[in-house]
A and B are shown apart, each in its own frame.
Chain A
Amino acid sequence: DAGITQSPRHKVTETGTPVTLRCHQTENHRYMYWYRQDPGHGLRLIHYSYGVKDTDKGEVSDGYSVSRSKTEDFLLTLESATSSQTSVYFCAISPGSAGGSYEQYFGPGTRLTVT
């Protein structure tokens, strides 16, 4: 299994509070992604990173920010959590073209509830 962990695995927070989710990899892969998964919507990309300090927005980036100061860590921050951000969040990593492999490897997910 790819070495990818997410923390925390579960979190309950109140509306208006900041929340940071962490994704950590031990594979030295270049690409890292944050998705949210909601019933009926599948996986939707929030932000992604293609290198240290290189990040870009996905299709549902409003209300979220990210940072990647080291290859192995990709942080997702909800500046002021809202109930619409209640979801399951998945981190994924990918080597891209390195070694001819293009698939993603997913973490176990973080279940976030905003009350």
Chain B
Amino acid sequence: AQSVTQLDSQVPVFEEAPVELRCNYSSSVSVYLFWYVQYPNQGLQLLLKYLSGSTLVKGINGFEAEFNKSQTSFHLRKPSVHISDTAEYFCAVSGTGGSYIPTFGRGTSLIVHP
């Protein structure tokens, strides 16, 4: 079994400030990790993913995330946010064993203020 905890349900931040959205997971097997973004009234779209290799992964729109196996974390960061980054962000984990059934966190609402 696997689970995902997004530690903050809402993160308010001012424009051009840095932001970190936290994600912790638990799993008894090796994992793939994902961050998705959902803009209002839209479906989710992939921001970035960790499958293997370098633990620092870069995604679209200037976001990056770091896989920390010892802390079972996959926090999402951006050095300078824009108003347009206001959205819901979801962390997801999937086992590597072939079931491809990801488990999603409950989401973090990023609110960027001018």
Contact = CB atoms under 8 A, between A and B. Distances in A.
A36 to B, nearest CB: 12
Say which size band chain B's interface belongs to.
20 to 34
User: Ordered nearest first, which 10 A-B pairs have the shortest CB separation?
Assistant: A106-B43, A42-B106, A43-B104, A106-B44, A96-B100, A103-B46, A42-B107, A42-B104, A108-B43, A102-B32
A93 B90 CA distance: 17
B51 interface: yes
A25 interface: no
A43 B49 CA distance: 18
Residue in B46, B90, B98 with the greatest tally of chain A CB atoms within 10 Å: B46
Given A40-B106, A107-B43, 19 more contacts: A41-B106, A42-B106, A42-B107, A43-B107, A44-B104, A58-B101, A90-B43, A96-B98, A102-B94, A102-B100, A103-B49, A104-B34, A104-B36, A104-B44, A105-B46, A106-B44, A106-B45, A109-B41, A109-B43
30 contacts: A31-B100, A33-B101, A40-B9, A42-B90, A42-B104, A42-B107, A43-B44, A43-B90, A43-B104, A43-B107, A48-B101, A58-B101, A90-B44, A96-B100, A97-B98, A100-B51, A102-B32, A102-B49, A102-B100, A103-B34, A103-B46, A104-B44, A104-B46, A106-B36, A106-B43, A106-B45, A107-B43, A109-B41, A109-B42, A109-B43
A44 B102 CA distance: 10
Interface of A: 31, 33, 40-45, 48, 50, 58, 90, 92, 94, 96-97, 100, 102-109
A91 to B, nearest CB: 9
